[in-house]
């Protein structure tokens, strides 16, 4: 591993020099990203062999921000970078990494997560989508649900049951599923906040090449835990603030970001819009109300404390620690803050919090907050599941009773 230039100012100087020599606003976005991958600037924390520099995790965000400040463009946004690449880097064969990691970094391939099923969400290891050998391929049958962006993804992170005769956690295999094939049908679902960001995905004799197994056959649970640990790191997602000047790279990057974030436009509302609380109270003429002031102060205090916990988790990652139980603490805090924010917005707006349209509080944003906040405590593992993880992994309490853990999956009796 190259001795890293870790001081931010050194990184900034090296990056600025590199951008000055390579930036051409008229080149295609993909070509620019190939240059980034070549130089290790797209994801500096990745190993040098896999288009990074082997630097600590914090350098990814730092370099991404610096590239935008320089008027350039960094790595793409999306599940490819946040979930697929870290999972492939941790568990994929060299052949799979060679084939799939670079197109993630260049933005050529987008990804979705095919984990949850109608009968398996929190109890993910109880999933029943089947994977059967067929020559060198695997054939997949079953149904997934809640799959964000599956309607336009190129690949899916698929967890499926390859052996029903062993206990549930041991019979799973993890695949990189090509989405554009006849056996894969993604149907968008309409949510109560009127958005349609996730899908149900029907898998009917869908095929996966044997080489697309991530990890080894039967080892899918361990691989899925890596993906889930990275998923709990998600905070509020914001589109990159690209330089507004015209130019082919920037135009294409803005279009890419707009397409990606169209699906996530309700996520800030899902997080409760704490940023709007004071403005909302002033607009509603209740900023002097002592009870509302107290509720606002409590909410903002919660948010500050949560951001310090996130900073602590980030510092741990910078020291090289893999994401752990602090992700669950942080995720639970985000749910509490979102719920508290919805409560405070409701206190401020009263019954008109339910109104939509231009005349309603904050132009309908408050109604969308109320309808979106429940999603915060479900996505990426529910609050109750985070509490179980904290109880067992952090507090060392006895594990939850799991009666179906050690018997073969095909002998488990299901309700209904």
C-beta of 161 vs 254, nearer to ligand FAD? 161
CB 186 within 8 Å of CB 63: no
Q: Look up tokens 């995790």; give the residue.
A: 57
Q: Is 198 in the site for ligand FAD (CB under 6 A)?
A: yes
Among the listed ranges 163-171, 217-225, 271-279, 372-380, the one in contact with ligand FAD (CB under 6 A) is: 372-380
Say how far apart CA 326 and CA 328 lie, in whole Å: 5
C-beta of 52 vs 215, nearer to ligand FAD? 215
Q: Is 378 in the site for ligand FAD (CB under 6 A)?
A: yes
CB 53 within 8 Å of CB 59: yes
Q: Is 128 in the site for ligand FAD (CB under 6 A)?
A: no
C-beta of 221 vs 242, nearer to ligand FAD? 221
Q: Is 346 in the site for ligand FAD (CB under 6 A)?
A: no
Total of residues contacting ligand FAD (CB under 6 A)? 20
| Contact with ligand FAD (CB under 6 A) among 146, 221, 230, 242 | 146
Structure tokens at 110: 């987008």
Ramachandran quadrant class, 72 (left: phi over 0; alpha: psi -120 to 50; beta: rest): beta
- Nearest approach in angstroms of CB 239 to ligand FAD is 18
- Residue 168 carries which DSSP code? G
Q: Is 379 in the site for ligand FAD (CB under 6 A)?
A: yes
Secondary structure (DSSP) of 330-396: HHHHHHHHHHHHHHHHHHHHGGGGG--STTSGGGGHHHHHHHHHHHHTTTTS-HHHHHHHIIIIIS-
| Contact with ligand FAD (CB under 6 A) among 32, 41, 115, 409 | 115
Q: In angstroms, how far is CA 318 from the centroid of its own chain? A: 19
> Could you confirm whether 231 is annotated as catalytic?
yes
Active-site position among 117, 231, 252, 368:
231
Q: Which stretches of 74-125 are assigned E, i.e. beta strand?
A: 111-114
Alpha carbon separation from 121 to 102, 130, 159, 327, 379 (Å, rounded): 31, 16, 12, 18, 10
- Nearest approach in angstroms of CB 64 to ligand FAD is 23
CB 129 within 8 Å of CB 118: no
Among the listed ranges 10-18, 168-176, 305-313, 379-387, the one in contact with ligand FAD (CB under 6 A) is: 379-387
Q: Is 382 in the site for ligand FAD (CB under 6 A)?
A: yes
3-state secondary structure of 138: strand
C-beta of 18 vs 198, nearer to ligand FAD? 198
Q: Is 381 in the site for ligand FAD (CB under 6 A)?
A: yes
Which of positions 76-105 make contact with ligand FAD (CB under 6 A)? none
Q: Measuring CA to CA, which residue among 57, 96, 103, 60 is closest to residue 80?
A: 103
CB 11 within 8 Å of CB 66: yes
C-beta of 45 vs 335, nearer to ligand FAD? 335
What are the backbone angles phi and psi of residue 298, rounded to the nearest 5°? Answer: -65, -45
Q: Is 121 in the site for ligand FAD (CB under 6 A)?
A: yes
Residue-wise burial string across 289-323, b where 16 or more C-beta atoms lie within 10 A, e elsewhere? eeebeebbeebbebbeebeeebeebbeebeeeeeb
Q: Is 10 in the site for ligand FAD (CB under 6 A)?
A: no
- Nearest approach in angstroms of CB 376 to ligand FAD is 8
Q: Is 113 in the site for ligand FAD (CB under 6 A)?
A: yes
Q: Is 173 in the site for ligand FAD (CB under 6 A)?
A: no
Say how far apart CA 141 and CA 160 lie, in whole Å: 9
| Contact with ligand FAD (CB under 6 A) among 212, 272, 375, 409 | 375
Q: Is 386 in the site for ligand FAD (CB under 6 A)?
A: no
Say how far apart CA 15 and CA 346 lie, in whole Å: 47
Q: Is 384 in the site for ligand FAD (CB under 6 A)?
A: yes
- Nearest approach in angstroms of CB 323 to ligand FAD is 17
Q: Is 148 in the site for ligand FAD (CB under 6 A)?
A: yes
Residues that bind ligand FAD (CB under 6 A): 112-116, 121-122, 146-148, 198, 375, 378-379, 381-382, 384-385, 388, 400
The residues that are catalytic are: 231
């Amino acid at each position: 591993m190259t001795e890293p230039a870790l001081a931010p100012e050194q990184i900034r100087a090296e990056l600025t020099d590199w951008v000055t020599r390579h930036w051409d606003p008229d080149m295609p976005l993909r070509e620019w990203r190939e240059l980034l991958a070549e130089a290790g600037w797209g994801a500096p924390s990745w190993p040098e062999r896999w288009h990074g520099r082997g630097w600590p995790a914090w350098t990814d965000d730092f370099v991404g921000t610096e590239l935008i400040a320089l008027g350039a463009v960094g790595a793409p946004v999306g599940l490819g970078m946040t979930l697929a690449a870290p999972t492939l880097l941790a568990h994929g064969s060299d052949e799979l990494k060679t084939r799939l990691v670079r197109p993630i970094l260049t933005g050529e391939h987008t990804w979705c997560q095919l984990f949850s099923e109608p009968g398996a969400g929190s109890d993910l290891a109880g999933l029943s989508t089947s994977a059967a050998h067929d020559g060198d391929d695997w054939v997949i049958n079953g149904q997934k649900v809640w799959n964000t962006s599956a309607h336009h993804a190129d690949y899916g992170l698929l967890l499926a049951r390859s052996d029903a005769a062993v206990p549930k956690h041991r019979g799973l295999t993890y695949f990189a599923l090509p989405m554009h094939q006849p056996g894969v049908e993604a149907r968008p679902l309409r949510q109560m906040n009127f958005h349609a960001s996730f899908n149900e995905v029907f898998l009917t004799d869908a095929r996966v090449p044997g080489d697309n197994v991530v990890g080894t056959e039967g080892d899918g649970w361990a691989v899925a835990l890596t993906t889930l640990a990275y998923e709990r790191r998600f905070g509020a997602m914001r589109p990159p603030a690209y330089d507004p000047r015209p130019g082919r790279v920037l135009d294409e990057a803005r279009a890419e970001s707009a397409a990606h974030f169209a699906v996530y436009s309700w996520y800030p509302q899902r997080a409760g819009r704490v940023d709007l609380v004071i403005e909302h109270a002033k607009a509603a003429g209740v900023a002097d109300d002592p009870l509302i002031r107290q509720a606002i102060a409590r909410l903002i205090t919660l948010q500050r404390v949560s951001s310090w916990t996130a900073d602590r988790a980030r510092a741990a990652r910078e020291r090289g620690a893999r994401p752990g139980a602090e992700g669950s603490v942080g995720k639970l805090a985000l749910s509490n803050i979102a719920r508290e924010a919805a409560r405070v917005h409701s206190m401020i707006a009263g019954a008109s919090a339910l109104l939509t349209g231009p005349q309603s509080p904050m132009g309908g944003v408050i109604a969308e907050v109320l309808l979106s906040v429940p999603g915060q405590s479900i996505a990426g593992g529910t609050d109750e599941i985070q509490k179980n993880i904290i109880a067992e992994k952090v507090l060392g309490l006895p594990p939850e009773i799991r009666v179906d853990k050690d018997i073969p999956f095909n002998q488990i009796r299901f309700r209904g």
